[in-house]
Amino acid sequence: MDGIPIGRKIDLNSLDSYDKLSQAVDKLFRGLLAAQQDPLAAGTKECPQEEVAISGLLDGTGEYTLVYEDYEGDRVLVGDVPWGMFVSSVKRLRVLKTSDLSSSLTASGRKRTVAEC
């Protein structure tokens, strides 16, 4: 989550696709997102709310989008390169609000790099 430093690690070598990466990220952050949306309900056991899966992480259709930083410092949309190339070049994953991505990204579709996120 951009703006919130969270020290979580995902073993990319244990995954074999972007879909499984999306599921792993969803599993890590689903509770955090639920707590952000309703902080009062997060601390109580009364009226347990069903956690809703984070959707659209890979295609930019949801509230959040996965972006990664490669070893050259470029930010790239997750899914823009083949899986093997992604695994060998990713340095850091970021979960950004889709609305915070540059307007040129949403207007022209997916681009290789994310400018000034």
Band of the pLDDT at 19, cuts 50, 70, 90? very high
Residue 102: φ, ψ to 5°: -60, 145
pTM passes above 0.75:
no
Band of the pLDDT at 57, cuts 50, 70, 90? confident
CA atoms within 13 A on the CB side of 114: 26
Better-predicted residue by pLDDT, 47 or 80: 80
Alpha-carbon torsion 96, 2, 111, 104, what sign? positive
Q: Is residue 1 part of a domain?
A: no
Band of the pLDDT at 53, cuts 50, 70, 90? low
Q: What is the number of structural domains in the chain? A: 1
Distance of CA 95 to the CA centre of its chain: 3
User: What is the per-residue pLDDT for 60?
Assistant: 79
Q: Is residue 6 part of a domain?
A: no
Range of the domain at 95: 14-108
CA distance 62 to 51: 16
What is residue 81's DSSP assignment? Answer: S
Q: Is residue 4 part of a domain?
A: no
Give the CATH number, domain containing residue 75: 3.10.20
Better-predicted residue by pLDDT, 4 or 69: 69
